[in-house]
């Protein structure tokens, strides 16, 4: 065999070896990211006694577009919770709550319209007093109905299943999916994206969140962004409503940063972002694989921050407790009706 033939053979074997290694690495990465995701079978737990699912819209923008074969034709409602779990060293370092007694620190209903051209994000104040329904438990038992209960206690007593059931009971809107991310996951996501840029209208000096910022524009890392999301003292009236405004600002800042980051041309950054997201994620079983999450992501890839409306469920001070709020009617019901 001549030198040229031997060289070609070696080159061919080297290339084949590199392809095998690359395929193996890609397979491992997919398995790792897929294995990261934790899930809860909410549909089985709650059964059929729930608000109806949205029906496909035959006249939606998706049906009229050239991409009708890939864009959904029905609206989608997703309950997104940020939990204050103290599980894990990262969450403890970031100020999570007691292990085993976590509450939903943040609650948002994300409504995606048919065609995924617009979205509405509705924040539910965690201090809202609600009637918490009886919720099924993993051991076969159930929780008691609780009146004038704090909204975020639903997650504490019955986990994701009770959080979903409580939201559906006060909104009469079907939650098609559930997504939960903890403190560490949110901070890691922001860091993986290279930080987020926000503009604050007033000085912030919150001893509880350990955040100090002067009014103005700031580029925040993950820990600072998490602190901003948790800040409530010194903002507005110091209630949860002021904190919600900061959280809604962060949602738009994240969308802007994601749009500005061309992840598809930077596989290493794409993996870091995916690992940050999936590593601290709990979903319903309808989103518990990388394939399903990617499908949801692709359906909203054209959604810009300008096409996202952020609102807060209308509330008023609770007559029984000035430190709590209750849904303001009929405004709250009218808002939820618009999302059905």
pLDDT, one tens digit per residue, over 287-329 is 988 888 888 888 888 888 899 999 999 999 999 998 899 999 9
Are both 192 and 203 inside the same structural domain?
A: yes
| Percent of the chain with pLDDT strictly greater than 70 | 78
**What domain range includes position 27?**
1-36
3-state secondary structure of 132: strand
Residues contacting residue 54 through CB under 8 Å, at least 6 positions apart:
74, 75, 76, 77, 174, 176, 340
Query: Could you count the other beta carbons within 10 Å of the beta carbon of residue 69?
Result: 7
Are both 12 and 68 inside the same structural domain?
A: no
Are both 101 and 242 inside the same structural domain?
A: yes
Query: Is pLDDT of 59 > 60?
Result: no
Query: Is pLDDT of 5 > 80?
Result: no
Are both 192 and 307 inside the same structural domain?
A: yes
Are both 81 and 20 inside the same structural domain?
A: no
What is the arithmetic mean of pLDDT over 62-85?
Answer: 70
Domain count, the chain: 2
Are both 109 and 213 inside the same structural domain?
A: yes
Are both 3 and 110 inside the same structural domain?
A: no
Are both 200 and 58 inside the same structural domain?
A: yes
pLDDT of residue 234: 67
Are both 25 and 104 inside the same structural domain?
A: no
Distances (CA, A) of 247 to 164, 228, 290: 20, 8, 26
Residues contacting residue 23 through CB under 8 Å, at least 6 positions apart:
none
Are both 199 and 328 inside the same structural domain?
A: yes
Are both 31 and 124 inside the same structural domain?
A: no
Are both 205 and 322 inside the same structural domain?
A: yes
Q: For residue range 244-302, list pLDDT tens digits in order.
A: 988 999 988 988 888 887 766 677 777 788 888 788 889 999 998 888 888 888 888 88
């Amino acid at each position: 065999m001549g030198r040229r033939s031997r060289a070609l053979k070696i080159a061919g074997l080297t290339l084949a070896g590199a392809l095998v290694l690359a395929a193996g690495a890609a397979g491992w990465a997919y398995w790792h990211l897929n294995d990261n995701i934790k899930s809860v079978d909410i549909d089985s737990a709650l059964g059929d006694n729930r608000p109806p699912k949205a029906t496909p819209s035959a006249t939606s923008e998706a049906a009229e577009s050239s991409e009708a074969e890939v864009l959904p034709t029905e609206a989608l409602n997703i309950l997104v919770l940020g939990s204050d779990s103290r599980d894990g060293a990262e969450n403890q370092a970031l100020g999570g709550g007691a292990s085993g007694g976590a509450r939903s620190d943040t609650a948002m209903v994300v409504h995606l319209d048919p065609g995924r051209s617009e979205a509405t994000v509705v924040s539910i104040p965690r201090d809202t007093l609600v009637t918490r329904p009886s919720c099924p438990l993993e051991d076969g038992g159930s929780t008691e109905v609780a009146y004038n209960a704090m909204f975020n206690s639903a997650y504490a007593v019955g986990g994701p299943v009770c959080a979903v059931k409580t939201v559906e009971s006060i909104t009469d809107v079907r939650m098609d999916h559930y997504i939960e991310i903890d403190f560490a996951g949110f901070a890691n996501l922001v860091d993986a994206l290279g930080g987020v840029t926000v503009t604050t209208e007033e000085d912030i000096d919150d001893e509880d969140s350990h955040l100090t910022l002067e009014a103005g524009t700031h580029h925040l890392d993950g820990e600072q962004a998490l602190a901003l999301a948790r800040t409530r003292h010194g903002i507005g009236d110091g209630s949860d409503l002021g904190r919600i405004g900061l959280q809604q600002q962060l949602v738009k800042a994240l969308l802007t940063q994601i749009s500005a980051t061309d992840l598809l041309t930077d596989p290493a950054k794409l993996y870091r972002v995916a690992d940050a997201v999936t590593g601290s994620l709990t979903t319903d079983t309808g989103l518990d694989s990388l394939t399903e999450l990617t499908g949801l992501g692709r359906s909203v890839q054209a959604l810009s921050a300008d096409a996202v409306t952020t609102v807060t469920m209308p509330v008023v001070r609770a007559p029984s407790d000035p430190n709590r709020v209750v849904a303001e009617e009929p405004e709250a019901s009218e808002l939820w009706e618009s999302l059905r």
